[in-house]
Structure 1
Amino acid sequence: MKQQAKVVRFAVPEGRGEYGTQGEREMRRSNALLEETVRQRTAELERTNARLEESLRQLQIAQAQLLFAERLATIGQLAAGLGHEINNPLAFILGNLDYVQQQLARTSGAPSPEDSQEMMEALADARDGAERVRLIVRDLKVLSHPNDMELGPVDVVATLRGAAKVAAYEVRGRARLVEALDAVPPVNAHRARLCQVFLNLLINAAHAIPPGQATRNEIRLSARMDGTTRVLVEVSDTGCGISPGNLERIFSPFFTTKPVGVGTGLGLSVCHGIVTALGGDISVESEVGRGSTFRVSLPVYEASCIEVGSSRAA
């Protein structure tokens, strides 16, 4: 009798053959959902970035307008003094030209050598006065130039002297202006904004000294190299000084020790913003009753930095 072979059958759970296909469909569905989520999040981030960029642009515009407004406010405060500074040389010019005109009318022909010499001297004096007016107007033009973000090489010494000319009426009658300006390389800056910094520091120094004591006080401007890559500018005065409590807030917006209606309280805050935006530093050292020294450190223009380094190495 033959033994029959046993056939073993394994029970396949219902739907087992469809597991692979169903799993793939679920995975594809999950991947599609994930991709859609990523696309939505990416689009949302792009919209957020666009809003942030627009907000940053608006803030930059507002900052530029604030800097320009503060600069014009400073010029407005100096308007009377600037008119005096321009009026004096103009009166001098007109007086000398009137003299030459009268001399020519009197001689009614070829003047004598003595008369010619006097008229030549009068014309030279008139030309000097006109040059003084031209320089004042040039420095005012620099200050009133609209803001832009373009940086480049700026002559620190020329900018300091330009600011000193504009502030001359404020300084005169309060202190002697002393200059100790070394030949320094250009710094990487914006000329109008840098002039605004120096002008504000000069005006503050002048206002720290009571009028009528020019022989006993001085405001000192100095410029020198600080290492090989930075220029250090100092504006020092022998005025009333700043109390320790105020020193901590001296660069804060709208903080001022001046009477109400005098100044905007933004001068030093604006100076701090301009200098730090240029990659520089500004600091102050002061003692009550002995005066203050403001220090501005600025990076040398890169091409000049290379030249200074190579010349010193040689």
Structure 2
Amino acid sequence: MMMNRKSVSIEAMVRKTFIFAALFSIIFGVFVGISFWAQQYFGHEESRARFAGIVLSVLLIVFAYGPIRRFLVNLTDRFLFQKKYGYQKLLRDASAGISQIKSLRHLANLVVHFMTMRVRVKTAVMMVKDERTERFRAVSMRGFQVNHNAKPCHVLAADDILIDYANSKHAPVSVGEINKRISGWKQVKDKNLVAEQIDKHLAIKNRMNELEAACFIPSFLGRELKSILFLGNKKSGDDFSDDDLNVLFTLAEESAIAIENARLYDEAVQKAEELEAINRQLQEAQSRLIKALDETEIANKQLRDTQVHLIHEQKMATLGRLASSVGHEVNNPLTILSMNVSRAILKYRRDPDLKVGDILDVFQKMEQNISRIKAVVNTLTGLLKRSQHGKYEPLSLKLILEETLPLVQFQTYLENLSGTEVEFNIPGNIPLIKGDLERLQEVFLNLFINAYHAMAGRKDRKITVTAHPDPNDSNFIVIEFSDNGCGMTDEVMKKAFSYGFTTKPSGKGSGIGLYMCRYIVELHGGEIRVRAKVNEGTTFVITLPIYREEPSSTSAQSSTT
């Protein structure tokens, strides 16, 4: 096939050269004749006139050669080789348009429109290879009915028979050529080979008929098939000639780089749009994150302010109850002391010669009440000796509980809750805990008061505190604070540590005691939970960290050396 096309091109070149030479000889002969006539005409005149005639003839030939040559070339191409002239103009126009398009879809639309309008075909489809799926998809089509635009055949798989044939042939293919091949194979005697080839070419023909294509033009970039242009029948009814296919294949080869550049351009644009969308999403996410952080900071500040306020309220409530109890404890001996002082003064006024021994019993009673007031003051002084606020130090759990009991007695003095048995089952080898004494005493003070209130009205009241190492984590100890009071329901247990929740009558409970207990325990890195049964009692389970002495910098340096 390629040899036939080359022979046709060579034959056209020989014909064109021969006709061009004949026309040029005729016109050049006319010029030579005119020059010869001029010399003959001026030859009878003087030598000067004859010389002028020769110069005029030479100038006429020199200046007329270029225009005459171009005229002859155009005349030869336009009239003697009209079809070849049209193809050259077609290639120039198509190349000029293709080189200016960047987008693949626009380029495909241009090629398809160009084919239907300039090549005058009824239908045209351009399919481009999808690099991800390796399928060939229709990018642009023209001339089909509306209901044909979504044909399944407009997507060709990588192993489609047309794709295989285009890769193997590496040249344009027409239905006319396929028919000739089928006719040729029918003349071969080897029936097995004939049947296989005929079936193959019939399948190719049927596939092209599905696409309503009279020919297809593959476009290669190197050895890789990049796109295929399917063209329908010509509107004139003529078949596609070899010259038609050669020109279209040349156009396809020239446009291969432009198509690949356009595909890469579209891919770059798509990636840029995706990156822009990702950047927008990142900016929106960053804005939401900044807003969330600001809201979190505001919420944390409000929480800290609330916690400070709650701690202040808890302390004020504790101090209020303590002041009331202490006032009662101090007022009684002060009253007795005041009465004894009055008695001593009265006796002295009645008997100025009164001796000390006569009123010794009065002074003894005064001393007893003074000692009682002193004991109350010493107790308060011991209770109010706190560790530095916020300082975590090694603490004995048993000592914390024992030092909290006097404060509990002051707090519950007015409620008359005496007669409660308190039992500490704390082994002597229990490790020290790491904590803030003041805060931990607040926790156990709240638990003691709640237990007293839960056991109100019962005859046998008992509070038991046990401690043991945490079996799940050797860095913690577990404290179980139990009472045999009224217990809790499941609903109450769920809300026990909620802020403002209380089961006590109005004015009796603030609803912040257990909330503060959980806050303080979690501040120490521990955990508090509750289990209870109605009318059987309540147990609070607390885990607190064990104190482990951190090695000093001096010992660390000595160990390294």
The TM-score with structure 2 as length reference comes to: 0.39
Q: Does residue 36 of structure 2 align to residue 30 of structure 1?
A: no
From 191, 197, 201, the counterpart of 2:443: 197
| AA in 2 matched with 1:155 | S
Q: Quick one: structure 1 residues 42 and 238, their matched pair in 2 at CA, closer, same or farther if it must change by over 3 Å? A: closer
- Match runs of 1:84-233 below 5 Å: 84-85=328-329, 130=374, 133-140=377-384, 142=386, 153-169=394-410, 170=412, 173-180=417-424, 181-183=426-428, 184-210=430-456, 217-227=460-470, 228-233=474-479
Q: How far has the Cα of 1:17 moved from its partner?
A: 7.5
Query: Which deviations, in whole Å up to 9, do the C-alpha atoms of 1:139-163 show, x marking residues without a partner?
Result: 34649x97x5x65544322322232
Say if 1:297 and 1:262 are closer, same or farther in 2 by CA, change over 3 A: same
Alignment deviations for residues 231-285 of structure 1 (CA, whole Å, 9 cap, x no partner): 343444454x235466535615333332221111232233234334532233243
Alpha-carbon distance change, 284 to 89 in structure 1, aligned in 2, over 3 angstroms: farther
Deviations 1:26-48 (A, max 9, x none): 26743662464255235314413
State the Cα distance separating 1:203 from its structure 2 match.
1.0
**Corresponding residue number in structure 2 for 1:63:** 307
Bigger relative contact order (CA 8 A; separation at least 6): 1
Q: Which runs of 5+ in 1 are unaligned?
A: 99-118, 305-314
Specify whether residues 23 and 86 from structure 1 end up closer, same or farther in structure 2 by C-alpha distance, changes over 3 A only. Answer: farther
Post-superposition offset of 1:5: 7.7
Partner of 1:104: none
Question: SS state of the match for residue 4, structure 1?
Answer: helix
- Partners of 1:5 and 1:86 in 2: CA distance: 136
Letter in 1 for 2:496: F
What secondary structure does 1:264 align onto?
Answer: coil
Larger Rg computed on CA atoms: 2
Query: Which residue of 1 is the match for residue 528 of structure 2?
Result: 281
Identical positions, percent: 24
Instruction: Provide the secondary structure at the position in 2 that maps to 1:258.
Output: coil
Which structure 2 residues correspond to residues 234-253 of structure 1 after superposition, within 5 A? 234-239=480-485, 241-242=486-487, 244=489, 247-249=492-494, 251-253=496-498
Taking a change above 3 Å as real, the CA distance of residues 90 and 156 of structure 1, as seen in their structure-2 partners, is farther
Residue identity opposite 2:396 in structure 1 = D
Alpha-carbon distance in 1 for matches of 2:465, 2:386? 21
The letter of the residue matching 2:529 is I
- Say if 2:305 is the partner of 1:299: no
Classify 1:226/1:14 alpha carbon distance in 2 versus 1 (closer, same or farther; 3 Å).
closer
One-letter identity of the residue aligned with 2:291: T
How far apart, in 2, do the equivalents of 1:159 and 1:219 lie? Answer: 19
Structure 2, unaligned stretches of length 5 or more? 1-6, 14-245, 342-363, 551-561
- 1-side partners of 2:401 and 2:492: how far apart? 24
Tell me what 1:16 maps to.
258
Counterpart of 1:255 (choices 485, 501, 507) is 501
Distance 2:292 2:432 in 1: 37
Aligned to 1:4: 10
1:257–1:27: structure 2 CA closer, same or farther, 3 Å change rule? closer
Residue identity matched to 2:453? H
Q: Residue 136 of structure 1: CA displacement? A: 2.0
Match of 1:167, SS state, is helix
8 Å Cα contact 2:451/2:463 also seen in 1 = no
Give the secondary-structure state (helix, strand or coil) at the position aligned to 2:10: coil
Which stretch shifts more, 181-190 or 254-263?
181-190
How far apart are 1:166 and its partner, in Å? 1.1
Amino acid at match of 1:73: A
Distance 1:206-1:63 versus aligned 2 partners, 3 A rule: same
In structure 1, what is the Cα distance between the partners aligned to 2:445 and 2:507? Answer: 19
Change in Cα spacing, 1:13 to 1:67, as seen in structure 2 (3 Å) is same
* 8 Å CA contact retained: 1:90, 1:133: no
User: Which residue identity is paired with 1:165?
Assistant: P
The alignment's TM-score, normalised by the length of structure 1, stands at 0.63
Do 1:89 and 1:130's aligned partners in 2 also have CA atoms closer than 8 Å?
Answer: no
Which residue number corresponds to residue 105 of structure 1?
A: none
User: In 2 relative to 1, CA 72–266 (structure 1 residues): closer, same or farther, beyond 3 Å?
Assistant: same
Matched to 1:82, the amino acid is V
- The amino acid that maps onto 1:298 is L
Q: CA 1:17 to 1:204, structure 2 compared with 1: closer, same or farther past 3 Å?
A: closer
- For 2:530, give the aligned amino acid: S
CA deviations on 1:162-190 (whole Å, 9 max, x unpaired) are 32111113166522453424443232434
> C-alpha separation between the residues in 1 aligned to 2:512 and 2:274?
57
